[in-house]
Chain A
Amino acid sequence: QKEVEQDPGPLSVPEGAIVSLNCTYSNSAFQYFMWYRQYSRKGPELLMYTYSSGNKEDGRFTAQVDKSSKYISLFIRDSQPSDSATYLCAMSASGTSYGKLTFGQGTILTVHP
């Protein structure tokens, strides 16, 4: 079993839809949770960063962490065609050597006009 599981999709939604992306994990030591966005033929870029449990909102994006269920989510409101990308969840444990991250497989999202 992988430490981090992410549904690879692909996910296709109409413009304006609410998108929900999810990851589950098995390592209870994970404390830092991230979402990266990767456009086609580019490197991933950090989108959201959360420490421990709770919610974090940034514009149309909301990240949720439920450590009791070992489940994290990224919600995108009013999705736009420019949100079409691969979304990768990533996480690390407190005190992990040198910021080593464990990534999910990535979900391919397409938002069509």
Chain B
Amino acid sequence: QLQLQESGSGLVKPSQTLSLTCTVSGGSFSSGDYSWSWVRQPPGKGLEWIGLLYHSGSAFYSPSLRSRVTMSLDRSKNQFSLRLSSVTAADTAVYHCARGFCGGSSCYLLDSWGQGTLVTVSS
């Protein structure tokens, strides 16, 4: 059974870079049937998609965050990661990693999720 687990710093100072890792067990990055996404949820707000990685390792980011986001894949460790630069208090959120099913022309149907990790931006 596929499991995803987020890890990383829970407290980041303003203007610094947030770094998170998602460890995937019970699954593989080699299948073209799936993509790998990050989604966040600020306190009291709805879910916001951040970006995805295709199995090839190429990335696609939300236009609203594109200038600050970098995602990458480490097949040897079965992990993928998120870096978000120049953070502010508005980036405080629970960050989830998720697997997307690639059907038709979309890879955005998220069929498995991690439980999420809270990242607080504060000095």
A and B from one assembly? Answer: no
